[in-house]
Amino acid sequence: MRRFPSLAALVVCASAVVQSQAAEPTLSLETPMSPPAWALLERELLKASTAGCKEFFARYFDERGWLLCVERWGGDDGPDDAIENCLDWPILHALGAPDDILRLYKKAWEGHLRQYTLAKTTHVPFAKDGMYYKEFPVMFDWLHNGEGLVVFNLQGLSDPKDDRFQQRVRRFAGFYLNEDPGAPNYDPKHKIIKSMFNGSRGPLLRKATGLDWAGDPIEVENRFKPRHGETSYQQMLDHFKDYNDIVGDHPQNLQATTLAANAFMLSHDKKYHDWLLEYVGAWRERMLANQFIIPTNIGLDGKIGGNTDGKWYGGVYGWGFSVKDPPTGKIIHRNRHAAGFQGFMNAYLLSQGDDRWLEPWRQQIEAVNAQGKMIDGKMHYPTMHGDQGWYAYAPQQYDKNAREIAYLSMKAEDRARLPGDPWFAYLDGKNATYPETRLRRDLENVRQRVEGMRKDTTTPDTRLADDPMPFNPASVDSLIELMLGGLHPGRSGSLLFCRLRYFDPVARRAGIPEDVAALIERMTKDEVTLTLVNTNQLEARTVVVQAGGYAEHRFESATAAGRELKVNGSALTVRLAPGSGGQLVLKMKCFANPPTLVWPWER
């Protein structure tokens, strides 16, 4: 078996002497380092989140992995919310939490699949034979489909060889490559997903009703507290009464490309790569044709606005989608065009950093802000567009996906759109207290969430699937930034975009080894400054550092204590003596490799 690349022997001790070792050596750090506060905080956060998740699972799931709740279909509460209760658990394990976390979130995933396959509607027509079919939502919008995949789409970080995971990755992607005759979601001629409602039973090619969205009639008052604030089932129906124009393509369908991205990284089958770039490429062309503004309806004829009377801003969740909120009577603006950037991020990953996937979104930011106007002596910028033109002005500049663009490109002009971002300021050396402050905040989140869980008075028959969500103890935002140099994937089923990832070569698993802590102190387009610490004063530890979440980057060299060594690979091994640590400067080329789910020692 071919070993992954590692550095020539480098022993960094007090005198910074480099010693040659065997043919396949490792980088060794032997300089004593008293564990810094950030290192102890990282280890404690992993420990606290793990303990909290175990208690959470015992409270809200049964021995089958079923969520203890009233099963419902709908946009208020549905199958996606059941598994979304385990948001961030895959990342927690991939960071280094014990295998208990992997076992529990897989159990919850398997349990909810069975639970919502057996759960059937009485009134909503397309879910009367089960809310899931072939282990996937029968047909719904990708705001909810994406939320229901926050666990599955990241399972490959820790468990890519699981047989059921591999089968599902291919099956789910196949629903959008027209490989299942019962799910003709994609039109290859016009390069569209045919409806906002799509899934394992194909697209819904009629106007949607409030019932389709809200689900079956249910008792609400004195029993449930829906998250949209409704106090009756009628208000739930009223919430969705204008959610009608779903036929044709919408940018949020681009979230489906994450299925193909995973399938490609797992199998390296070119068909997934080609379909993803074809579909995202069609959306890119539409942005260019619409003066860099992404349209929110593409008709079944492939034309912009084709199913909304020619209006590029039309449709549910479109640029012009403003509706009344029944509990308050206020007009709410629900424009979800920005969800489409997830597909462009996937295209950027698979095309190995081709900037043409970012440029239209930069231009969109500029185009929207060019419509700014003075209101009460202050500049305001639009967030919506309807028949009357631009509207819903706000005092902040439009900046949808500016942070993701800046992260991917690391260009100064993109970073300039984020003058107040504390993490980017830290990476530029301007916010030295950020790591400890951020880690302590996440520790406090764990405490508050567990406290809320322990005070929760709901019972399984008065609990909706999304009720436990505020108490989910997995608190990983700081660890993603500080350990991985990455972006939180959010709640849309996105992949994990990060600069570094860690593996334990002794335990043969993903995640940083026990007792080891890592801090990215500086990050530019072609360099990372990383400090590794072994907090164990008695035992040595060995860690594999990977370039990128999916080995999409390449290390060119590593420098420690003034000595530079060539690497030219996507992974390197670091051995940490008891109680030792040190700083590495890693020169790298980002997006130099096709992304993969194959682990370092198997490449």
Tell me the per-residue pLDDT of 369-416, one tens digit each, with 9 for 90 and over: 999 999 999 999 999 999 999 999 999 999 999 999 999 999 999 999
**pLDDT score for 420:** 92
Can you read off the two tokens belonging to residue 581? 């640590």
Residues of the chain with CATH 2.60.40.1180: 10-30+499-602
Instruction: Name 486's bridge partners.
Output: 498
- Tell me the percentage of the chain whose pLDDT exceeds 90: 94
Residues 6+ apart with CB under 8 A from 151: 83, 86, 87, 89, 90, 105, 108, 109
Q: Across residues 548-558, what is the average pLDDT?
A: 97
Amino acid at 497: F
CATH-assigned architecture of domain 10-30+499-602: Sandwich (2.60)
Q: Is the pLDDT of residue 24 over 90?
A: no
- Find the length of the chain: 603
The answer to whether residues 128 and 121 touch, using CB atoms and an 8 Å cutoff, is yes
pLDDT digits (tens, 9 = 90+) for 47-56: 999 999 999 9
**pLDDT score for 25:** 37
Q: Across residues 135-142, what is the average pLDDT?
A: 98
Around Cβ 584, how many Cβ atoms within 10 Å?
A: 23
**pLDDT score for 23:** 28
Alpha-carbon distance of 344 to 346, in angstroms, equals: 5
Write down the pTM of the prediction: 0.95
Can you read off the two tokens belonging to residue 149? 């995949």
Tell me which H or E stretch contains 486: none
Residues 6+ apart with CB under 8 A from 418: 399, 402, 403, 406, 424
pLDDT digits (tens, 9 = 90+) for 554-590: 999 999 988 888 999 999 999 999 999 999 999 999 9
Q: Is the pLDDT of residue 18 over 90?
A: no
Q: Is the pLDDT of residue 272 over 50?
A: yes
pLDDT digits (tens, 9 = 90+) for 285-295: 999 999 999 99
Q: Which of 30-39, 227-236, 295-304, 577-586 has the lowest mean pLDDT?
A: 227-236
**pLDDT score for 339:** 98
Q: Across residues 499-524, what is the average pLDDT?
A: 98
> What does pLDDT average to over the chain?
95
Q: 317, 293, 292, 314: which is closest to 305 by C-alpha?
A: 314
Q: Which of 7-16, 199-208, 472-481 has the lowest mean pLDDT?
A: 7-16
pLDDT digits (tens, 9 = 90+) for 86-112: 999 999 999 999 999 999 999 999 999
Can you read off the two tokens belonging to residue 564? 């530079």
